[in-house]
Every structure is written in C-alpha cells, then in structure tokens.
Amino acid sequence: MAKSNVDVVVVGAGFAGMYLLHELRQNGFSSRVLEAGDDVGGTWYWNRYPGARCDIATTDYQYTWDPELFEEWQWSEKHAAQPEILRYAQFVAKKHDLYSGIDFEVRVEKAAWDDAAKKWSIHTSTGETITSRHYVMATGCLSVPKDPDISGTDRFTGDVYVTGRWPHEEVDFTGKRVAVIGTGSSAIQSMPHIAAQAKELVVFQRTANFSMPAQNGPQPADRRARLKADRIAYQSEARMSPTGVPMEMATVSALSVSREEAFSMLEKSWQKGELLQIGATFSDVGINRAANEVVCDFMRSKIHEVVKDPETAETLSPRGHAYGTKRPCMDTNYFEVFNMPHVRLVDIRKKPITSITETGIDFAGESQEFDAIVYATGFDAMTGAIVNVDITGKNGITLKKKWESGPLTYLGLTTVGFPNFYMITGPGSPSVLSNMMVSIEQHVEWIRDALLDMRAKGFDTIEPMPEAEEDWRVHCTDCADITLFQDTNSWYMGANVPGKPRVLFPYIGGVGRYRRICTEALQRGFVGFEMQGNGKHQMNPGPVRLMQPDVEMMLDAMAMLELPPIEAMSPAEARGFMDASATMRAPGPDVGEIVDGTFPGAAGDLEYRIYRPASQGPHPIVVYYHGGGWVLGSHTSDDPMCRDLCERADVMIISVNYRHAPEARFPAAVDDAWEALKWVAGNARQLGGSADRIAVAGWSAGGNLAAVVAQMARDNGGPALCGQLLLTPVTDGSRQSASYDENGEGYVLTKNVMEWFWNHYASTEDRKQVKASPLLAKSLANLPPAMIVTGQFDPLRDEGNAYARALSEAGVQVKRIQARGHIHTSITMVDMLPSGKSVRAKMASGLREFFVGK
Ligand code: NAP
C-alpha cells in the first residue's frame, strides 16, 4: 500500500521523474511518482508518430548517472528512433526497480500548499489525497498538445491524429487521402512515412521551417572515440558547454569571410548531420542578423537543390525569421517528399484554411476531401503542463494567476509564493535550448542536493526571495535581448498559443553558465532563498553572480588563451600586447570625418584625433581622454568607442593624447590633459565645433583625468564645461574599496594590474593628491553635470559610485549608470559585445543632454 504522506511527490515518469525517483530513494527520502501514462518514458511514451527520432546523437542523449549503462546498452543508430528510446527508458526502469515507485495512469488535478502544516496537499484523478513536504513537477516542456485553433475541428468524421498523442497501435495510411497540418519537427519527421503510404497527401504549411538531413547511421565515430577515451572528461565538457553537447566554440564571424568560404564552412557542418552544428559554424549566428542571413541563404540553397519545382522550393524556403529562432529540424528525406506526384503543398498564408468540414478541409475557395487529418500543430510549451494542474501556493494564489503575464521563476527551478515547489527544466532554465538529458540530470541533482542540505541544516522550507526572482527575470531578459529570438513568432516565445504572454521562455545564457549559477546558489548557502525550520529562519539575498552572457563568453575565451598577466610584463611589452589585441577588434561605426593633428602639450606636441559627425556643424565638442592606466594607450586606442559615441550622440569627439608613465609620472598626464582642454577651448571654432558647448569624457584612467580637469576648469575660472562623462573612472588611489576584493580577480582589470598601473604612475604620497584622486577634493560643489558609469564586476566600481555620491551630495547634477553584468573593459567593446550597446546608448544620450539649451 503506497504511503499517503511522503517527503516528495514527483509528477511525471519521463527521464526526469525516473532519475529523481532513483536519487530520492538512494538518499532515504520517501516519495510517490505519479504518471498519467501507463509506462515510463514521458515524451518518448506519447510521441509515437512514424519517424519520431531524437535530434541529438545517442552519444549525448543518454543518462550519465549510471556508468554501467554505457556497457549494458548499445544504441543501434546515431539518432535513435522513438521505440528504441522508449525501450531504453524501460530498461533503466527495470534495472533500477523504478516501476515499483511509480503510480501509473494517475493525474494530479490539484496541489495546494498548507502554510500551517508546511506541506503540499495533492489531489489525484483517482480521488486520493497525498501530503508531501516537497512537490516536483517533472512534466516535460512539450507534453501538452496545443489546440489547433482551426474552426470545425470537431466536425470531421474521418480519422484524426495528433502527433503528440499518437495511437499505440500502428496506423496504416495505405490508399488514404491524408492532410497534414503543420510543418514543425513532428510533421517534418513523419511526413516521409505518411507520404510513402498515402494515396494522396496535402501538406498545409503556415511557416516554412529550416531543416537539414539527419544523416542517420552509426554513432559519430569522433564522439564515440572521445567518450571511450575519457567518458568523464567528455561529460564534463557537455555539462559546461553552451548547449549540453561538446562542441568547438566558433571564433569566426560569418561576415569576416567571403560568401564562398562561408558556404564551404557551412557545407562541412551540414555533412556532420548534427542539429547544433550549423548554428555553431560562426560566432555571431545567434546575435547578428546579417551573419544569420548567411546561414539562411545556405539553408535555402539546399532546399532549392532538392525540390524540383522552383515555386514549391520557394514556398518551402523560410523567409522572415532568423535561423535558430524557430527550432530548426532534422529530417530524413523531408524535402524530397515534395517531388512526389501525389504530394501537394498548400501555403496557408496565401490560401487560408477556412474550416474543417465533415469530410475534409475548406481553404481559399477549395473544398478537399480527406480520409485522415494529422494535426502536427505543436504544444503549449514550457508552461502548459505546469499550469494545467491547479497549483495553489501561499495566500491562495494560483501559479496560473501568478504567471498570467509570463512565468516568473528563480533559476527556472523555483518560484516565489510556492515553497518547496520545484520544476525540472522549467521556464527560465536552458531546457528546450539544450540537450535535455544534460539539463534534466543537472536539475535532478540540484534538487537532490538542496534536499540533502536542508535535511542536514534542519530546514523544512525553501522559497526564493522576490529580489532573487526579479534579478533572474532581468538576467534572462538581458540574455534574450542580445539574441534574435524576440523578433520571431515561435513557441519559444509563447507565440503559438493565442493569449500566451510573449517572452522568451527558456534561458538562453547557456548550459554551463547556468549550471555554475545554480551551483553557486547552493554552495554559498542557498543564495536568493528564504529558509525556515526548527525555529531557524535564514535569508540569503545574495545575489548570485549574473554576468552579461557575451561578457562571460569573452572571459571564457580569454581564459582558454592563457594570456600572460599584464603585471608580469614591462610597460613596453604591455603596450605591444595591447596594440596587437587592437588589430583584432571590430572597427566601430563610420563617422562623418576623422582628422588627425597635434596640439601643444605641457612638454611638447601631442597628437589628437577628431571624430566629426556626418551632420551639419558646428557640433558640441567632447574632449576625450583614453583609458590604459596612464601607462598604455594613445589618442587612437579607444577608436571604436569614440566613433560609436560620435555617431550616437552627434557630437564631435576630440581624443587627445597625453604623456604616459613610467616615462612621465604624475602629474605629467594631468598637465597634458589640462593643456589639451585649454587648447581645444581656445581653438574650438577653427576645429569646427562650438566654443560654448564643451564637455570632457574619459574611460578608466582617462575618466580620472576628465574628472581632474573638470575640477581644474572650475578652480581656474574656465574653460566653462557643459558636462563630464566618466566611464568606470579611477577616483581614489589612496585606498581600495570593497569592489577590489569582490572583483579583484578574473575580470580582466585585476587588483594586481591596477596596482601595477598606480605604481608606474604615482607614488603612495602622490596618490593622496587631488589631481591623482579627485574624490579627495575638499569641495565638489559647482562642478559641471556628470554622468558616471560603473561596471558591476569592476574593481573600480565602488570608487566610481563614491564619486557620483559625493558629487551629488555637493549639489552637482549626476546621472549614474550601473552597468549590470559588465566588467571594466566590456562597455567599450563596440560591435563585439552586444550587451554594451544599451549602456553606450545611454552614455550618448547623457552627452547630448549636457548640451541641451546651450
Ligand atoms: P511545432 O514546432 O510547434 O510545429 C507546429 C506546426 O504547426 C508549425 O508549423 C505551426 O506553424 C503549425 N501550426 C500550428 N497551429 C496551426 C494552425 N492553426 N494552422 C496551421 N498551422 C498551424 O510543433 P512540433 O513539430 O510538434 O515540434 C515541437 C517541438 O518538439 C520541436 O520544436 C522540438 O523542440 C520538439 N520535437 C523534437 C523532435 C526531435 O528531437 N526529433 C521531434 C519532434 C518535436 P507556425 O510555425 O506558423 O506556428
């Protein structure tokens, strides 16, 4: 007799529920697993349509938690078909005696949190009520077929099939007139099988899809060999990879090679027959529309190669959505189907279906009779299965209500207001954008570890904190914002279900990054969670480290290069290294004109570079001081960012050089910066700018100089400045703030590099001077309006913020931008890190505002 009060109730006996059951048992937690079907397998139990196969190679789509399985189970193909995957699930369930822990043909109808008892109360379709401390939805992301939303579906008297609920017995279409509605993965896989039998097949397509041949056959030799040689290393690589499948990271932009070369690289990827390979051919397919279009062109050319009728080929060629923003498909002879004489393609954007009738389908003035209709119209993805159950949390709020405007979760695993409630591969986790096996195992292990830790520490309840949930929402949006996903109507965006909120449901920051964040949340003592139990109450607001995804990707790439630390170099070596790095960066946008010249510095001529907008002048002038710790760089070293600011703000940027340390130590750079400002102010008109509209700007050490000369201009009665833009500025060398400890290592500008810069520039005594540390000024009153930008993961963050605060307290108008998830150097990386774009846009609008009304 199954217990009606257990530690954990799990809904679903797919690969997630099965593994969780195993782990719960191993660790002494009592459980009930409730499954609607009459066997294990989840998605592979329900999706029995002909041709159903996994798109991820079997070397990668299998459990890793039981190493014996690698010997005990041999996959027959590279991409296993549904019956084989179901047999695998059954094999594992038998081997580990999982069947005994699962209640089949039981649906959960209602689950409610009892805040007094600190337990869940779960009502099932069999009339039973089970209570449990914890409640886990392991219901899968694509398990609730969506309503086809076509009028008359209930009228049809012929055979009706839904790919996601295919009959268990074989379906024979021989001699039948068949309609297939939809051209997603399920349709694309089943179509060749249906076409082979049917007397007549009409395919109703709303949106053409990208698909590539699966090239099925034996398991990929290279992957097999790597698995065999070092299984643990292979699995670790998968777990820390962007998608959960080990793959080389692309480093080349699709726009940096000729079209011929791009196509030849894509051809190599195509030949591999691996789902994720095409998109991984170039570094910018997911984030740059033009780069993505190269891939789209290649994919379309392949359709035209196969499909004989050019008009049909064109109808089958996706236009209007970027590759990868709708799930790309893998097929076996899909496009070939349309060369068969009994197959017809109907583009329902041109010939809309008006109604399903008793005998067939009416569309665009035609009435066609069918013996069978196959709905391959997709799923209410990610949230459908979760909110289909009436789940009520604290204070009587249902999850459905809470998620009305979009799912809110912390880490895609938990949600505020629903204590001890967990989702496996829920919205806000990589889930459908990853190899599901890797993601499932990670979530199961996270839940197991959380339960173990709670037991060890005597906590009864875990609930995410609202701040953590909000941080996660913002981070998920940050990640989505740099991609092309939001421009496409896809089920990833909830766009296939009328009325569903339009957000990117899965987390797109990558599997490895996600794993690190989840692990950090547990290892640092339940970061972002409120914990209670045994009279104890713990709140650990965190936050977990959430970086902009592109910034983190860059850090990962740099870590792989094992670059020597700057502080181990001589200044000359460091300058050479910086020059070499500059040749690899994107140039930045075009501006109206670039003019180089010289001006008289404090100890001789120095260079400047003018960036003039294309618009009619005279323009406001921004005197710009470059970054580089007073040791590195020149008037051209921040070229891309100067172009970007010039173009965005429509102002003239004059980037001026200054003498560098250690050859010319403090206050040489200040003296030159000051001379530059005076010279520009005195020559503004000749330079094509407005003499009464001048501001200063600078990055890092240049921000320090800009702040210093702004004070000097105030103290010396001019030049009059309209504003100061300080990007991650150095403001106080006399002491080090907490951000030096928090961010002192691993974010390019390290504590040691900063010390190296200071040591070259100024003595300990000199650092206490106001011209080295502008924060130490006796008064900051009457300075020009300031915009101060600080990076979250910058050692200089706190001193930039301190300067902003001090200016504000002194009555200076200050705008502060805290660049979320950014490091010291990332905001300046124009056209390389898309996440910096919005920060620079704000900087440009800040610059423009300096001059409003002037
Ligand atoms: P899907 O990708 O959502 O495709 C549904 C298709 O039906 C789309 O072509 C859609 O058009 C069309 N459609 C929906 N409502 C319609 C209507 N009212 N009138 C006309 N057409 C309509 O669903 P799916 O093919 O079942 O695949 C869903 C996901 O399951 C896949 O993306 C994949 O992640 C997973 N899957 C994986 C595998 C595998 O690994 N091998 C196999 C099958 C499925 P629009 O595009 O215009 O909405």
pLDDT (tens digit, 9 = 90+) per residue, 538-591?
Answer: 999 888 889 999 999 889 888 887 888 899 999 999 999 988 888 877 889 999
* Angstrom distance (rounded) from CA 475 to CA 28: 36
Which helix H or strand E contains 755, and what residues bound it? helix 751-761
Which helix H or strand E contains 363, and what residues bound it? strand 360-363
In which residue ranges of the chain is pLDDT below 70? Answer: 1
Residues 6+ apart with CB under 8 A from 714: 782, 783, 784
Return mean pLDDT, the chain.
96
Q: Which ligand 1 atom minimizes the distance to the CA of 187?
A: 25
Residue of 185, 210, 433 to test ligand 1 pocket, by largest number of atoms within 8 Å of CB = 185
373 CA from centroid of ligand 1 (Å): 15
Q: Which ligand 1 atom minimizes the distance to the CA of 79?
A: 41
Q: Are 509 and 475 in contact (CB under 8 A)?
A: yes
186 CA from centroid of ligand 1 (Å): 6
Give me 830's structure tokens.
């124009």
Output the CA torsion sign for 843, 844, 847, 852. Answer: negative
pTM score, whole prediction: 0.91
Cα–chain-centroid distance for residue 574?
A: 33
Q: Which residues pair with 586 in a beta bridge?
A: none
Which residue matches tokens 């009409």? 202
Residue of 377, 380, 431, 436 to test ligand 1 pocket, by largest number of atoms within 8 Å of CB = 377
Residue nearest to atom 10 of ligand 1 (CA): 182
| Sheet bearing 177-181, strands edge to edge | 159-162, 372-375, 177-181, 200-205, 343-347
93 CA from centroid of ligand 1 (Å): 30
213 CA from centroid of ligand 1 (Å): 18
pLDDT for position 324: 97
What type of residue is 460? D
Q: Are 164 and 381 in contact (CB under 8 A)?
A: no
Q: Which ligand 1 atom minimizes the distance to the CA of 56?
A: 40
pLDDT for position 820: 95
Cα separations in angstroms, 624 against 66, 744, 831, 849:
60, 27, 20, 17
81 CA from centroid of ligand 1 (Å): 18
From 511, 630, 641, select the one nearest 588 (Cα to Cα).
641
Strands (E), 525-642: 529-533, 536-540, 593-601, 604-612, 619-625
164 CA from centroid of ligand 1 (Å): 10
Provide the CB-side half-sphere exposure for 292 (13 A, CA).
19
The values of phi and psi at residue 375, to 5°, are -90, 110
* Angstrom distance (rounded) from CA 47 to CA 557: 39
Residue nearest to atom 17 of ligand 1 (CA): 148
Output the CA torsion sign for 538, 468, 833, 515. Answer: positive
Residue of 496, 497, 502 to test ligand 1 pocket, by largest number of atoms within 8 Å of CB = 496
Which helix H or strand E contains 208, and what residues bound it? none
Residue nearest to atom 3 of ligand 1 (CA): 378
Strands (E), 72-126: 102-103, 108-114, 119-124
Cα separations in angstroms, 359 against 65, 156, 370:
51, 6, 6
* Angstrom distance (rounded) from CA 454 to CA 462: 8
Q: Are 467 and 495 in contact (CB under 8 A)?
A: no
| Sheet bearing 353-356, strands edge to edge | 353-356, 360-363, 366-369
The values of phi and psi at residue 116, to 5°, are -75, -45
pLDDT for position 446: 98
Residues in the chain: 854
Cα separations in angstroms, 671 against 602, 664, 665, 775, 782:
6, 11, 11, 18, 22
From 29, 52, 28, select the one nearest 41 (Cα to Cα).
52
pLDDT for position 198: 98
Angle at 301 (CA atoms; ends 295, 306), nearest 5 degrees = 135
* Angstrom distance (rounded) from CA 49 to CA 171: 9
* Angstrom distance (rounded) from CA 826 to CA 823: 5
pLDDT for position 810: 98
Residue of 151, 188, 206 to test ligand 1 pocket, by largest number of atoms within 8 Å of CB = 206
Give me 508's structure tokens.
């797109």
Beta-carbon neighbour count of residue 720 at 10 Å? 14
| Crossing angle between the packed helical segments 639-649 and 837-850, to the nearest 10 degrees | 60
Q: Are 325 and 210 in contact (CB under 8 A)?
A: no
Residue nearest to atom 14 of ligand 1 (CA): 377
Q: Which residues of 256-278 are buried (b: 16+ CB within 10 A; e: fewer)?
A: eeeeeebbebbeebbebbbbbbb
Q: Which residues of 780-804 are buried (b: 16+ CB within 10 A; e: fewer)?
A: beebbbbbbbbbbbbbbbbbbbbbb
Q: Measure the CA dihedral 343/348/352/354, to 10°.
A: 50
Q: Which ligand 1 atom minimizes the distance to the CA of 148?
A: 18
Give me 366's structure tokens.
């035609």
Residue nearest to atom 29 of ligand 1 (CA): 185
Q: What is the greatest pairwise CA distance in the chain? A: 95
pLDDT for position 556: 84
Ligand 1, pocket residues at CB < 6 Å = 53-55, 142, 148-150, 163, 181-187, 189, 204, 206-207, 327, 348, 376-379, 432, 491, 496
136 CA from centroid of ligand 1 (Å): 27
What single-letter DSSP state applies at residue 230?
-
